[in-house]
Structure 1
Amino acid sequence: MDCCMNEDKKKALQALKTSKGQIDGIIKMIEGGRYCIDISNQIIAAQGLLKKANLMILRQHLDNCVKDAFLNDTGEEKVDEIMNLLGKLLK
């Protein structure tokens, strides 16, 4: 497992922190009775940040974990992991 904090993970972490703030704001919007379309637009924005963070984490995984696995002839397991994840993303 990769425990280092590389640039992709730092960017993903920032995107996640930003989306956390957006979600807190969305909760306040709902509690404050804000217009539904405004709430929905904020939810879409938060989802976009979550997707962006996920892509950064996956890129880091491919660049490091998967690459190392193939160099050590253990890549088949990593391919299965990626395929399972893609199955979830494509549902």
Structure 2
Amino acid sequence: MNGEQKQALQALKISKGQIKAIIRMIEEERYCVDVSNQIIAAQSLLKKANLLVLKQHMNHCVIEAFQHDNGSQKTDEIIELLSKVIDK
């Protein structure tokens, strides 16, 4: 496991804890704005984890694919992913 993967895993574990806490907050009928702020924080961690996964993919899988003349397929995958991120 490389550095990006470790960081992504850590961010996902933290967001998992945050989501559990958000569920408790809703069950306890906590103030809506406080719940929303926690949801935003969890989303931020998920975005960070996704960027780290994509960085790892670009630095390893995509480079390797170009070295083996299969780079266009990886480029298409990245474009498809980016279109999902941009549309939202």
Question: By percentage of residues, which structure has more helix?
Answer: 2
Q: Does 1:15 align with 2:11?
A: yes
Which SS does the other structure have where 1:34 is aligned?
Answer: coil
1:9-88 equivalent positions in 2, closer than 5 A: 9-88=5-84
CA distance in 2, matches of 1:85, 1:11: 20
CA distance in 1, matches of 2:82, 2:50: 12
How much has 1:39 moved relative to structure 2? 0.2
Query: Moved runs in structure 1, 4+ residues, more than 4 A?
Result: none
Which SS does the other structure have where 2:69 is aligned?
Answer: coil
TM-score of the aligned structures, taking structure 1 as reference length: 0.94
Gaps of 5+ in 1: none
Which residue of structure 2 lines up, in the alignment, with residue 90 of structure 1?
Answer: 86
How much has 1:14 moved relative to structure 2? 0.4
How much has 1:22 moved relative to structure 2? 0.1
How much has 1:43 moved relative to structure 2? 0.2
One-letter code of the match for 1:45?
A
TM-score of the aligned structures, taking structure 2 as reference length: 0.97
Q: Does 1:6 align with 2:2?
A: yes
How much has 1:85 moved relative to structure 2? 0.3
Q: How well do the aligned residues superpose, as a CA RMSD in angstroms?
A: 0.4
How much has 1:62 moved relative to structure 2? 0.2
